[in-house]
Chain A
Amino acid sequence: MVRYFYRTVSAHWRTNPVLYALTVLGVALGVASVISIRILNQSAVASFAAGVRTIGGAADIVVTGKGGTLPDAAYPLVRGTPGVTAAWPAFETTVAVEGRPGTFARLLGVDLLAPALDLWGAFSGFAPGAPVAAGRGWAAATPELARVMGWVPGDRFKVRDGAGSRQLRFGALIDFERWGASGERQALVMDIADAQSLFGGAGTLHRIGVTAAEGADLPALAARIEDRLGGRADAVTPSERTGQARELLGAFRLNLTAMSLVSLLVGTFLVFSSMRACLVWQRREFGVLRSLGSTPGQVLALILGEAALLGVMGVAIGILAGYWTAVWNLEAVSSTLTNVYMLREIESLEVSRGTLALAVFAGLGGALSGTLLPALDVWRRDTRTLLDTLPAQSAGTAVTRVLFRIGLVLVVGALAWYWLIAWRWRLTGFVLSTAVMLCLPLLTPWLVQHLAARVRVPDFGFRYGVRSLGATLANTSFSVSSLAMAVCLLVGITLLVESFRETLVRWVDRSLTADVFVTATVGARPGPDATLSAQLVERLAGRPDVEGVGPLRRLFLAVEGQRVAVVGVDLSRPAARQRLALLSGGDVVGRAIRERGILIGEPLSSSASVTVGDTIEIEGSQGPVRLPVSGIYRDYTQGGSVTMDLGLMAETLGPGALTSVALQLRPGADPEAVAAGIESRHPRGSLRVRSNRHLKEDIFRVFDQTFAVTRILQVMSLIIAACAITLTLLVVAQEKASEIALYRTLGAFRRQVFLLFVSKGTAMAFLGLVLGFAGGIGLGAILIFVIQKSYFGWSIEWAWPWWPLAGEALAIVCAAVLASLYPAFKASRTPANELCHADA
């Protein structure tokens, strides 16, 4: 039997290489779509975790201030906390490196005289400690930065932040790679005293890394540290920080996670149907084997063995393909991370054991389960029926009806469950979308059967093709449901993305009314250290082409325990009022001014469970402040926001400089020219000046980038669908050779058979499209109204993206037609005497 196994497998390959290749490809694609998304997802988090390690070192606990920074005096308190075995302070800022436009570096000030500082293991080419002796301006640079700048030790260079230009001296290389974590690529490291005094940060630290005694109870130690600091700081373990990163990356990861779940489903399903299709083709061979005396068990073993073999090949190819898909899409994901979340880029892809296990599970599991049902069928059947040339329809009406009812119960049950019980539960959306996806294959057979039976056949053309789908119900249903699931995914995501975009367009049109926006930046990025000087604001206001100036001050503070953008604007200005898309009516802004209240964004309102009339606590630099909430506005910023009057802000959170201004130009002034004019008068990297149009473009570029990764799944699902069609039709061509021979005997030309198969493919595409669109609209609704709302508190207005949907539909039909060409060609070559052989 074993020898027979090898012989048959190789014979199968020779006789029908395309079918086998497609089956393996099906498995591979399924596996690839599952793991590529997962690899990207994990790498994004790993990249953040590495960032955390760079900043915190291999610390057991990292202490940060609630208001963003810590006072120097916190250090001895942290260090002296029982259970601490080492503590090291860090001061941090971002600087532009002069001499090479567009080069920025993270600048870390650390205690270069302290022992037990992990960083030191990373220095090379000099004696540590020398920097302090060497006097002001000594800095170590990462190899990447030194290479880019062409520095050799001893070189002097200038860096710039918001306050001006400073001269430093390149003293040594510091290689974070050698330090264990893959850290910042472009960074400077200085002694903390030097960094603080050069960059105006005397008295402030950004974090303190803590090493605990071996086996220490880290949460308890963290609590002790927070306690010693009077609750003004957060002490978190790196895993907690990575956890915070997960939160921060929530929207992004949610997209990826949802997609990887769906791709797992679709992928496993494709594997399942590929294997099934492949097996149907071999029925007669099993009949022969049985008639020659092999036991049902031997046949079953043969089938499962071959399935496992194909599955293993598919998994191997799928892992490679998935990895390369991830590599190709790395840039899209990476730039989302850096642009949207201001994190480091992904520098390496992580392929964890879990991912590999998942690949094996999806591939082999799908292959074996896809084989099991038909294999059991073969196992059960008597030899004669296996040898039938035109077997009766395998799935009776009863079976399809039961499946259909299960599908209906699933959807209705999930909806009822949602409305009655689970609408508060966060994961509900995932359950609902899984239900929608799962019901498609359940509903498909009955629908195909009934539709096919109802079609009248006036000719031997398209409708005849639809009608004949019913004859191969099992195969057809599989490919139609594969397609339907792919279309469902495609449509659901398109609806989400386009509705979101449309909502954003309206919001942006309403919120961004000024002509030119000027934002202070450090290292080309806005941040807590970037402010506009009063003279600059005055100068801008004094420009002849400027009619009005809208001031804005943005701080990032802990609000109700979350890190949120707190925005101060002049609420008395009509433009500032107009900016806010308020959810409630009435003179909300007027009330806010009278009540000395604040306005909060919708996501914050839902995540902190705060509504109008409540108060919220903001952790200012001078201590916590409690303020009443006067209104809620639509808000699509990451992490939420709070808006208040500038005067109230200065009073309660302390005075400070503006971070950006919006300029209203006089009629006739050209915003682009004004923006260019302002920008040219300031050093690179210190200001970001954008016209209204430019800013909107930037917003949508970032938006589009965030969802760029969804393209992987869209393309993947399209390929999967096309694959399913080709596979099904090939199997049909093989399985229905007698039928084709009959047509030929009855006078059908080859081209008629060809067109019949293309019709079948197209018919399947249409069926899949219809089912998929129905499911996709459901999925879109779940994504928009359930998932986004419960996770981010974003209200998204439903929009019908006609053109994108039409384009996708067209693409699917084209793909289906293309996918049916080869099987149609093969079918048309079926000799008419195929019947004679069967009869012999």
Chain B
Amino acid sequence: MDAAALTFAGVSKVYDGAGSAERYALRDVSCEITSGQTVAIVGRSGSGKSTLLHLAAGIDVPTHGSVAVHGTPLESLNETARTRLRRRDIGFVFQLFHLLPHLTVRDNVALPDLIAGARERDYRERVAALLERVGLADRAADPVAGLSGGEMQRVAICRALLRRPRLLLADEPTGSLDDASGEVVMDLMLKMVAEEGATLVYATHSRELASMADRTLRLHSGLLEEAEAPG
């Protein structure tokens, strides 16, 4: 599993700014993330962390350069193929959890399989197992509204990992949590990624959380640089 899980080659992302000014979210970013690695991306707010993750998930396209997931260059795929890739290979965890209030805990976790058209009997056990793993088995039938922030993010992690993605992207996964539950959630996520054998790329502005990764990349005004090895 030495193959690159994610490759950025000369990637720039430009947004139209006010008037004719252009705003560079990313500037000529190149890097390679090996399969099975956990990578933290640090940077201040607005440094381009989210953009990087979105480009990695194929929900946004680079202005210049190429992004490849497991060797597949995303620019060679059309919208449908990119969606299919996302469905198969990529999981996403958001800062604000984005659980659907009208669904139960179980249904929220099952949502990716629902969307993928899987049958209930095929995912029932997997959902149960994931919830068991995060310690929420007894809350499976509850509406998500009653959960605490930490519990919500654990549900979101289960949802992200449901379809056994090879690449898990997390955008400030503990940003809405207090430090204690943030650490618990981060810990859980890292463990589960390891168990699943997935690659994890997460954005954070916390040095402490960044230090839990194998590798840390720093984004500064759209420029990516390797951070010093933790030590």
Q: Residues on A close to B: CB < 8 A? A: 389-390, 392-393, 452, 457-460, 464, 467-468, 470-471, 738-739, 741-750, 752, 831-833, 835-836, 838-840
Report the minimal beta-carbon distance from B92 to chain A, rounded to whole angstroms.
5
Contact between chains at A836 and B50 (CB < 8 Å):
yes
Closest to A470 in B: B102
Instruction: Given A457-B114, A460-B117, A752-B115, answer yes or no on A745-B86 (Cβ-Cβ < 8 Å).
Output: yes
User: Looking at the complex, which one of B46, B103, B145 makes contact with A467 (CB distance below 8 Å)?
Assistant: B103
Contacts A389-B96, A457-B107, A752-B115 given; indicate if A839 touches B102 (C-beta within 8 A).
no
| Minimum distance in angstroms from B224 CB to a CB of chain A | 18
With a CB–CB cut-off of 8 A, which chain A residues contact B115? Answer: 460, 743, 746-748, 752
Contacts of B187 in A (CB 8 A): none
**CB of B171 within 8 A of chain A?**
yes
Which residue from B46, B84, B98 sits with its C-beta under 8 Å from A738? B98
Q: 28 A-B contacts, Cβ less than 8 Å apart?
A: A390-B96, A393-B101, A452-B102, A457-B103, A460-B117, A464-B114, A467-B102, A471-B101, A738-B98, A741-B59, A742-B100, A746-B92, A746-B112, A747-B83, A747-B84, A747-B86, A747-B112, A747-B115, A748-B115, A750-B83, A752-B115, A833-B54, A835-B94, A835-B98, A836-B54, A839-B95, A839-B171, A840-B46
Number of interface residues of B (CB under 8 A): 37
Is A747 a contact of B50 with CB atoms below 8 Å?
A: no
Q: Which residues of B contact A745 (CB under 8 A)?
A: 57, 59, 86, 92
Which chain B residues border A741 with CB–CB below 8 Å?
Answer: 59
Which B residues are CB-close (under 8 A) to A460? 111, 114-115, 117
What is the distance, in angstroms, from A450's C-beta to the closest C-beta of chain B?
Answer: 13
Contacts of A468 in B (CB 8 A): 100, 102
Closest to B89 in A: A747
Interface assignment of B66: CB less than 8 Å from any CB of chain A: no
Output the nearest chain B residue to A388 by Cβ-Cβ distance: B96
Q: How far apart are the CA atoms of A831 and B95 in the complex, in Å?
A: 18
Across the interface, name the chain A residue whose C-beta is closest to B169.
Answer: A745
Query: Is B79 located at the chain interface by the 8 A CB criterion?
Result: yes
A747-B57 in contact given A393-B101, A457-B103 (Cβ < 8 Å): no
Determine chain A's interface SS by DSSP, over half rule.
Answer: helix
- A744's contact among B83, B119, B145, B171, by CB below 8 Å, is which? B83
Known: A833-B54, A835-B94, A839-B50. Contact between A746 and B103, CB under 8 A? Answer: no
Residues of A within 8 A of B50 (CB): 836, 839-840
Determine whether the beta carbon of A471 is less than 8 Å from that of B102.
yes
Contacts of A457 in B (CB 8 A): 103, 107, 114
Residues of B within 8 A of A743 (CB): 111, 115
Tell me whether B116 is interfacial, beta carbon within 8 Å: yes
| B63 CB, min distance to chain A CBs, angstroms | 14
B contact residues around A471 at 8 Å (CB):
100-102
Task: Check if B220 is an interface residue, CB within 8 A of chain A.
Answer: no
In the assembled complex, the Cα of A743 lies from the Cα of B88 at a distance in Å of: 14
- How far is it, in angstroms, between the C-alpha of A797 and the C-alpha of B80 when the chains are bound? 59
A480 to chain B minimum Cβ distance, whole angstroms, is 16
Flag whether B87 is at the interface (Cβ < 8 A). yes
With CB as the reference atom, state the residue of chain B lying closest to A469.
Answer: B102
| Chain A residues whose CB sits within 8 angstroms of the CB of B51 once the complex forms | 836
Bound together, the chains give a CA A832 to CA B116 distance in angstroms of 16
Find chain A residues with CB under 8 A from B179 CB: none
**A446: shortest Cβ distance to chain B, in Å?**
15
Report the minimum CB–CB distance from B120 to chain A (whole Å).
5
Bound-state Cα–Cα, A748 to B83, Å: 7
* A468 and B107 alpha carbons, distance in the complex (Å): 12
> B101 to A392, Cβ gap below 8 A?
yes
- A142–B159 Cα distance when bound, in Å, is 85
- The 8 A CB mask of B110-134 against A (1 = contact, 0 = none) is 0110111101100000000000000
The 8 closest A-B pairs by CB, nearest first: A747-B87, A832-B59, A471-B102, A460-B114, A748-B115, A746-B112, A460-B115, A470-B102
Name the residue on A nearest B98 (C-beta).
Answer: A742
CB of B159 to closest CB in A, whole Å = 7
Q: Does B60 contact A (CB under 8 A)?
A: yes
Which residue of chain B has its CB nearest to the CB of A838? B96
Given contacts A747-B163, A749-B83, 10 further A-B contacts (CB under 8 A): A389-B96, A390-B96, A457-B103, A457-B114, A744-B59, A745-B59, A746-B115, A747-B112, A747-B116, A835-B94
* Among candidates B79, B84, B88, residue contacting A750 with C-beta atoms closer than 8 Å: B79
CB distance from A564 to the nearest CB of B (A): 63
A1 to B122, CA, bound (A): 58
Nearest CB to that of B120 among chain A residues?
A: A458
In whole angstroms, what is the CA distance A832 to B87 when docked? 13
Q: Which residues of B contact A836 (CB under 8 A)?
A: 50-51, 54, 59-60, 171
Residue of A whose beta carbon sits closest to that of B110: A457
CA distance A743 to B163 in the complex (A): 14
The chain A residue with its CB closest to the CB of B107 is A457
Chain B residues, CB < 8 A from A832: 54, 57, 59-60
Within 8 A of A (CB), among B181-202: none
Interface residues in B54-98 (C-beta closer than 8 Å to A)? 54, 57, 59-60, 79-80, 83-84, 86-88, 92, 94-96, 98
Residues of A within 8 A of B119 (CB): 458
Whether B111 pairs with A746 at a CB distance below 8 angstroms is yes
| Assembled-state Cα–Cα distance A729/B74 (Å) | 32
Instruction: Identify the closest chain B residue to A464 (Cβ).
Output: B114
Q: How far does the Cβ of B172 sit from chain A's closest Cβ, in whole Å?
A: 8
Task: Select which of A390, A452, A459 is within 8 A of B114 by beta carbon.
Answer: A459
- Determine if A392 and B54 form an interchain contact, defined as CB atoms under 8 angstroms apart: no
Residue of B with least CB distance to A467: B102
- List the B side residues contacting A747 at CB < 8 Å: 83-84, 86-88, 112, 115-116, 163
Bound CA–CA A392/B101 (angstroms): 7
Q: How far is the CA of A835 from the CA of B159 in the complex (A)?
A: 17
Report Cα–Cα, A260/B45, bound state, in Å. 59
Taken together as a complex, chains A and B put the C-alpha atoms of A752 and B112 apart, in Å, by 12
B134 to chain A, nearest CB (A): 18
A649 and B2 CA atoms in complex are apart in Å by 113
- Residue numbers in A under 8 Å from B159 (CB-CB): 746
> Chain B residues with Cβ under 8 A from A746's Cβ?
86-87, 92, 111-112, 115, 159
Residue of A nearest to B61 (CB): A833
What separation, in Å, do the CA atoms of A521 and B88 have in the docked complex?
A: 84
* Cα distance A738–B94 in the bound complex, in angstroms: 12
Contacts of A459 in B (CB 8 A): 114, 117
Contact of A839 among B59, B60, B80, B94 (CB under 8 A): B94
Q: CA–CA, A833 to B96, complex, Å?
A: 14
Measured in the bound complex, the distance between the Cα atoms of B84 and A832 in whole Å is 14
Please give, as numbers and ranges, the residues of chain B lying within 8 Å of A392 by CB-CB distance: 101, 145
A748–B111 Cα gap in the complex (Å)? 10
A751 nearest CB neighbor, chain B only: B80
The residue of chain B having its C-beta at the shortest distance from the C-beta of A459 within the complex is: B114
> Is A749 a contact partner of B80 (Cβ separation < 8 A)?
yes
Chain A residues with CB under 8 Å of B80's CB are 749-750
Question: In chain A, what residue has the closest Cβ to B45?
Answer: A840
Interface members, chain B 116-171 (any A CB < 8 Å): 116-117, 119-120, 145, 159, 163, 171
Interface centre among B46, B51, B111, B172 (most CB of A within 10 A): B111
What residues of B have a CB within 8 angstroms of the CB of A389 in the complex?
Answer: 96
Closest to A747 in B: B87
Q: Nearest chain A CB to B59's CB is how many angstroms away?
A: 4
With a cutoff of 8 Å between Cβ atoms, the chain B residues found around residue A748 in the complex are 83, 115
Bound CA span A746–B100, Å:
13
B142 to chain A, nearest CB (A): 13
Contact across chains for B103 and A839 when beta carbons are under 8 A apart: no
Q: How far is the CA of A832 from the CA of B74 in the complex (A)?
A: 15
Q: Which residues of A contact B111 (CB under 8 A)?
A: 460, 743, 746
Docked Cα-Cα span, A355 to B171, in Å, equals 59
A745, B114: Cα distance in complex, Å: 13
Contacts of B112 in A (CB 8 A): 746-747
Within the assembled complex, what's the spacing in Å between the Cα atoms of A744 and B80? 11
Among A452, A457, A471, A831, the one with the most B-chain Cβ atoms within 10 Å of its Cβ is A457
* Chain A hits for B59, CB < 8 A: 741, 744-745, 831-833, 836
